[in-house]
Structure 1
Amino acid sequence: MKQAIVARADVGMGKGKLAAQVAHASLSAYEDTPDRTRKEWKGGGQKKVVLKGESEQQLFELADKAEREGLPNAVVRDAGHTQLEPGTVTALAVGPGDEDAVDRVTGDLSLF
């Protein structure tokens, strides 16, 4: 079991902002995960990776792939209170889910 969070590297988020957006994405996708999968992922150590995203378009394309794989996913849009314009897409979480399925969606991306 694994969760992958894809954070945009092209919008110039500071480290704290990046961490917050990754956390929002992780929790949002987790909340949409079936109970059995949640328990298995939590019991297995909550494995997750943070990966580099290149654009808003890429995140939406990956979200579509996640949907086709049947994986929970969540796109995060920033509220615009600090560094970014309101509505800026900042991150995508894919999973938790079967590691092979998550890798079919995000396996070509680099670690952040």
Structure 2
Amino acid sequence: MKQAIVARADLGMGEGKLAAQVAHASLMAYEDAPASDKKEWKGGGQKKVVLQANGEQALFELAEKAKAERLPHAIVRDAGHTELEPGTASALAVGPASDNRIDTVTGDLSLY
């Protein structure tokens, strides 16, 4: 079991901003997961991997793949209080779910 969080590398977010966006995405997708997957993932150490994509379109394409695979997922849209414009799609989380199911969506992406 794992969760993959995809952050936009093209936005040039500072380290703190990146960490906040990744955390938001992780929690939002977790809340979308079935109770049995939540329990298994929590019991297994809550494995996460942070990956990168360039551009808003890439996030939405990955979200569509996750939806087609019936995987829990969430896209973060920034409130615009600090570095990003309001509504900027900054990160996507997929899972928690089995590693191989997550990899069908994010397996070709590079680590952040």
Match of 1:65 in 2: 65
Moved over 6 A (4+): none
Does 2:7 correspond to 1:7? yes
Match of 1:40 in 2: 40
Encode CA deviations 1:69-101: one digit per residue, 9 max, x unaligned. 110000000000000100000000000001101
- Distance (Å, rounded) in 1 between the aligned partners of 2:55 and 2:95: 20
2:66 maps to amino acid: A
- Distance (Å, rounded) in 1 between the aligned partners of 2:84 and 2:31: 25
Give the TM-score taking structure 2 as reference length. 0.99
Match of 2:94 in 1: 94
Tell me the percent identity. Answer: 73
- Distance (Å, rounded) in 1 between the aligned partners of 2:42 and 2:107: 22
Deviation at 1:53, TM superposition (A): 1.1
Encode CA deviations 1:27-76: one digit per residue, 9 max, x unaligned. 00001111111000001110110001111000000000001111000000
1:85 maps to amino acid: E
Give the CA RMSD over aligned residues.
0.5
1:19 maps to amino acid: A
- 5+ residue gaps in structure 2? none
Give the TM-score taking structure 1 as reference length. 0.99
Equivalent pairs, count: 112
Deviation at 1:24, TM superposition (A): 0.1
- Distance (Å, rounded) in 2 between the aligned partners of 1:109 and 1:68: 18
